[in-house]
Amino acid sequence: MKKKQRQADIIKTLRSSREPISGTALSTMYNVSRQSIVQDIALLKASESSYNIISTNKGYILVEPPPRTKVFKVYHSHEEIGDELYTIVDSGGMVKDVFIIHDIYGKIQVDLFLATRADVDAFVMGLEKKKTSPLMKLTDRYHYHTVEAAADSILETIEKRLKEKGYLIMGE
C-alpha cells in the first residue's frame, strides 16, 4: 500500500471511530511500523488539509470542525428544481431543508438532507411521481434552503453559482 493511500485510509479509520485508536493498532491494520504511523500522522497534521488529529494516552482522535451553514433565498421555476439542487450538491453542499415564509401560516419548513445527485434525483422523482407541489408554489416560487458545508469557502462557491444561474435573491 502506498503512503498517500495509507494516509487517506488512516483518516477514514479515525473519522469512523468513536474511540481513540492506538498507533500500534493502526500499524497492525496497515502492516507498517508504529514509527511509520507516527510519521503519517505528522504529515497529515502538516498537510494542506491540516487534519486536527489529537494524540492521547489511548491513541489518536480526529477532531473535525463543525459544519458551516448558510441560508439562501432562491427563486426559480418548477422545472429548475433539479438544477438548483444539483448546483448546491455538486459544489460540496448538503441541502438540509427547504422553507417558506407564508403571509398567513408563517414559517413552513421541511427537512431534506440532500447531499448527492442521487438524493436530488430521488427527491425530484418523488415530486413527479406523487404529483405533489413543492412549497415554493405557496409563495410564488420564493423559498429558502439551509445549506451545510465543511468550509465557508464552499458556501461562498455555492452562493456564486446560484447567483450566476439567476436563482439567488440578494439583499434579504
Query: From the CB of residue 14, how many other CB atoms can be counted at a distance below 10 Å?
Result: 22
Distance (Å, whole) CA 9 – CA 7: 5
Is the Cα dihedral 120, 110, 164, 79 positive or negative? positive
* The three grid cell numbers given for residue 148, joined into one nine-digit string: 451545510
78 is in an annotated binding site: no
Residue 84 annotated as lining a ligand binding site:
yes
Is 145 marked as a binding-site residue? yes
**Cα distance between residue 116 and residue 83, in whole Å:** 12
Radius of gyration, alpha carbons of the chain: 21
Rounded distance, CA 1 to CA 13, Å? 15
For residues 73 and 66, what is the distance between their CA atoms, to the nearest angstrom? 23
Binding residue ranges for Ni(2+): 76, 84, 143, 145
Binding residue ranges: 76, 84, 143, 145
